[in-house]
Chain A
């Protein structure tokens, strides 16, 4: 009979319409500014720089090796090396960045920089409310630096793995030091 298919479809529509009042599977809308979904462990938006300790600039893990800047698909990272070396968490002398800029207008949030970083220094953030009143799209070192506690808070699984591997390296370094003590200059 002509029209039966439409009627059958309307039954589906009616079922969905009814369900939109009580069925949790139909109530999918989140009233955004008031309610927010809990972000996922792996969620990634823009990159940030991890620092240890209290000083955001002195504690940066970044050694200005520029691997992220080279590998970045959009080439949005600019690094200028500070010629003065400082000891890192293992006591090795490392360079630090004097300038570390990321152009957020160009960044496409792919996560390649975080993936290639050998020092676990650059990681992906999960902030998404990025609009601002001015036109400042280039984030500088001071804007990018975020503490390791923050990293632990947003990506607990990944941060735990990173902390464990760093602690292991530190232990190894300590063991090496203990095994062959550097002769103290008299």
Chain B
């Protein structure tokens, strides 16, 4: 991190301690230590959100500004808290699957996958080959649509109102149509089951998917021609919101944000959950860790996902789509604990379950990538202007359903 940012940000001290615990100090009692960078300036505190349209939902940032420059940023979570973990400790294992759809409501398929993976670990269930392929196919389709949407949102945050997002949503809609004809619902898919998937592919689905993916590939060509070399995009994003490699590792950042900082860590390669060891794909890595790198990570990962989908489509075997011994109801895993994690489009999504032998998990804990990637927001934003804060937040790729749970 550049030295001037550090001096401005993490060492901001208070003239007097705040009155109550947890209360945000008034800006008038803030000053910078040492050289007195802000001596004589008035600082302004703004509550950005929870209604601000650029905060991707109901996220709130208390930003302290010196002019337009951010000197302090406090994220405030919890506006979308819905007791997800406690509800799951009351419901049966099966009944939690629809709730996981609502965590990261753009990528319900990978949420399902992470949850069923941990239950399968807990209960020791095997997954048939075809089901593994089905999971890879829907998981990579989810990655395509999530990253396309994210690029659209990010560009909208930069001021490209509508155009890139509209193009991205047009392509996403085709993938959602596939999800609807497969699982019955566009976004709340509720598709995976312990030991497999809920249903087999409908007739003609795979052919349709092949067509959609081929179209997506050519869409990406046009999308890159539209955006990659755009001078405004580059001026707004290069060198902005740099996330240093060490900080990213220490803060537990995962997913494209981590890889944009140059850390080669992709759970599909590290864990090789499911059947990812059978596919050939590369993990794109960034050099600078700025917003542009994070943008490029998404584009490059979509290309790799298209490659994985091509291989999966080619290799998918016939057979059962769910373990024949699978019982839909009354799942009572033996007492024990399990942590299942997948590389969701946003990072490492994990479910930690403890079973006491009962029909519901004794403890159910979600490790959401959005929340943990958000913790480095202040470090990325300090020293940048308030307009850059919007882009930096957009480039992290958060969904508030997952942050607050």
The one of B95, B163, B180, B215 that contacts A72, using a Cβ cutoff of 8 Å: B95
Q: How far is the CA of A71 from the CA of B190 in the complex (A)?
A: 14
Chain B CB within 8 A of A138 CB: no
B277 at the interface (CB under 8 A from A): no
Chain B residues lying within 8 Å of A116, measured Cβ to Cβ, are 94, 328-329
* CB-CB under 8 A for A43 and B184, given A5-B231, A9-B225, A73-B95: yes
A42→B180 contact, CB < 8 A: yes
A73 near B227 with CB under 8 A, answer no
Known: A40-B180, A108-B188. Is A73-B163 also a contact (CB below 8 A)?
no
Tell me if B185 and A6 are in contact (CB < 8 A).
no
Instruction: Determine if B98 and A73 form an interchain contact, defined as CB atoms under 8 angstroms apart.
Output: yes
Cα separation A9 to B222 with both chains bound (whole Å): 9
Tell yes or no: B54 within 8 A of A by CB.
no
Chain B residue with Cβ nearest A110:
B98
User: Given known contacts A6-B231, A8-B229, A73-B91, is B98 in contact with A41 (CB within 8 Å)?
Assistant: no
Q: Which B residue sits closest to A2, measured CB to CB?
A: B231
Closest to B199 in A: A42
B181 and A40 contact, CB distance less than 8 A = yes
**CB-based contact A4/B329 at 8 Å:** no
Asked whether, in the complex, the Cβ of B229 is within 8 Å of the Cβ of A42, the reply is no
CA distance A13 to B182 in the complex (A): 33
For chain A, residues 1 to 25, give those with C-beta under 8 angstroms from any C-beta of chain B: 2-6, 8-9, 11-13, 15-16, 25
Task: Give the residues in chain A near B102, CB-CB below 8 Å.
Answer: 108
Structural contact, A124 and B184, CB atoms closer than 8 A: yes
Mask: chain B, 211-234; 1 = CB below 8 Å from A; 0 = not? 000010000001001111111111
A109 to B185, CA, bound (A): 9
Interface residues of chain B: helix, strand, loop or mixed (majority): helix
Closest to A12 in B: B226
CB neighbours of B202 from chain A (8 A)? 41-42, 157
Q: Which residues from A are CB-within-8-Å of B69?
A: none
Report if B173 contacts A (CB, 8 A). Answer: yes
Q: How close is A71's CB to chain B, nearest CB, in angstroms?
A: 6
Q: Determine the chain B residues whose CB is within 8 A of the CB of A4 once the complex forms.
A: 229
A41 smallest CB distance to B (angstroms): 6
B41 on the A face (CB < 8 A): no
Asked whether, in the complex, the Cβ of B92 is within 8 Å of the Cβ of A71, the reply is yes
CB atoms of A112 and B94 under 8 A apart: yes
Docked Cα-Cα span, A67 to B54, in Å, equals 44
CA–CA, A112 and B91, complex, Å: 13
Residues of B with C-beta under 8 A to A13: 163, 226
Query: What residue of chain B has the Cβ atom nearest to residue A37's Cβ?
Result: B177
Give the complex CA separation of A84 and B173 in angstroms: 50
Query: With A9-B230, A41-B202, A43-B180 in contact, is A112–B225 under 8 Å at CB?
Result: no
B55 within 8 A of A: no
> Do residues B329 and A28 form an inter-chain contact, with CB atoms below 8 A?
no
Partner among B170, B173, B230 whose Cβ is within 8 Å of the Cβ of A6 = B230
Question: What's the least CB distance linking B77 to chain A, in Å?
Answer: 24
Nearest CB on A from B394, distance (A):
19
Is B99's CB within 8 Å of the partner chain A?
yes
Instruction: For B183, list chain A residues within 8 Å (CB).
Output: 42
Residues from chain A with a CB closer than 8 A to the CB of B273 are: none
Q: Which residue of B lies closest to A157 (CB)?
A: B202
A97 interface residue (CB < 8 Å to B): no
Q: Complex Cα distance A176/B328, Å?
A: 29
Which of B288-337 touch A at CB < 8 Å?
328-329
- Shortest distance in angstroms between A94's beta carbon and chain B's nearest beta carbon? 19
Instruction: Name which residue of chain A comes closest to B87, CB basis.
Output: A73
Nearest chain B CB to A101 CB, angstrom units? 19
**1/0 contact trace for A51-91 toward B, CB 8 Å?**
00000000000000001000111000000000000000000
When distances are taken between beta carbons in the complex, the residues of chain B under 8 Å from A71 are: 92, 94-95, 329
Interface positions, chain B 86-111, Cβ under 8 Å from A, are 91-92, 94-99, 101-102
16 intermolecular pairs with C-beta atoms under 8 Å apart: A6-B230, A8-B229, A9-B229, A11-B225, A12-B222, A12-B225, A12-B226, A13-B226, A42-B181, A43-B180, A71-B92, A71-B95, A73-B95, A108-B102, A112-B94, A112-B190
Extra pairs beyond A15-B222, A73-B91 (19, CB < 8 Å): A5-B233, A5-B234, A8-B226, A8-B229, A9-B229, A11-B225, A13-B226, A16-B167, A40-B181, A42-B181, A42-B184, A71-B329, A72-B95, A73-B96, A110-B190, A111-B184, A111-B190, A112-B94, A115-B198
Top 8 nearest A-B pairs by Cβ distance?
A: A5-B229, A110-B98, A73-B95, A44-B184, A12-B226, A42-B184, A40-B181, A9-B226
